[in-house]
Amino acid sequence: MKRRVLFWYKKLRIPIERRPMKYAIRTITWRFKESIELDREFAGKTSLVIRSPSDIAVNYCSLFKNQVRERFVVFWLNSANRVIGFEIITEGILNSSLTHPREVFRGAIVATSASVILAHNHPSGSLEPSQEDISITKQLVEAGKICGIPVHDHIIFAGDSYTSLAERGLV
C-alpha cells in the first residue's frame, strides 16, 4: 500500500553484536503522522476514540471496500482507546489469508500500543465468521494476554456491512 504522506517509517536499529542472525532484518511500523499533510481520506482520524465497532466501520471501511482478496488489518490503540496507527498484516487469496500472532503483535509492540483491534474482510459478502476466523481470534487473544496487549475486538467486513466478534461473545 503506497501512501506518501500518511505514514512515517521508523526503523529499529539493533547493534551488530546483539543481532541473533548474520543478516539484519528491518522492522517497519506505520503510525499516523501528526500533520496537516495527511491524506484527505484519513485526515482528522488520527485521534479517533474507539467506543464501539461502528467507529472502526465508519472511519476505516475504505481499507476493505471493493477488495477482491481478504485483507487482515490490525489497529493499534493507546490507553485512551485512540487509534495511533494500523498495519495491513496480510492480503490473502479469494477466501483466506494467513495470519500469525508474531506478525500481528510485532508492530503493536514497536508502536507501544496498549491494545489492538483486528479486522478483515470477506470478499464473498458473507458476514458469518468461519471456523478459521474463530480459531485465529482465540489464538490471537491468548497471544495478546501473554504479550500484555489485549485484543478488544475482531471485526469482519462484507460489502457495506460488518459484524463484531466481541458483540457475538466470541472474543
Residues 87-109 have a mean pLDDT of 83
Q: Could you tell me the pLDDT band of residue 111, with boundaries at 50, 70 and 90?
A: confident
Range in 10-14, 112-116, 149-153 the model is least confident about? 10-14
- The sign of the dihedral angle between the CA atoms of 110, 111, 112, 115 is negative
Nearest-angstrom CA–CA distance, 108 and 94: 27
Q: Is the pLDDT of residue 166 over 70?
A: yes
Residues 148-166 have a mean pLDDT of 94
pLDDT at 156: 95
pLDDT at 128: 94
Please state, for a pLDDT cut of 70, what percent of the chain lies above it: 70
Nearest-angstrom CA–CA distance, 109 and 76: 9
- 117: part of which helix (H) or strand (E)? strand 115-121
**At 56, is the secondary structure helix, strand, or coil?**
helix
Q: Is the pLDDT of residue 113 over 80?
A: yes
Which of 6-10, 19-23, 48-52 has the highest mean predicted lDDT (pLDDT)?
Answer: 48-52
pLDDT at 21: 40
- pTM for the predicted model, two decimal places: 0.75
pLDDT at 119: 95
CA–CA distances in Å: residue 125 to residues 19, 116, 163, 171: 45, 25, 12, 22
- 153: part of which helix (H) or strand (E)? strand 151-158
How far does Cα 132 stand from its chain's mean position? 17
Instruction: Kindly state which CATH superfamily the domain 37-164 is placed in.
Output: Cytidine Deaminase, domain 2 (3.40.140.10)
Q: What is the mean pLDDT of the chain?
A: 77
Q: Is the pLDDT of residue 25 over 60?
A: no
CB-CB contact of 80 with 30 (8 Å):
no
CA 117, 64, 38: angle at the middle one, nearest 5? 80
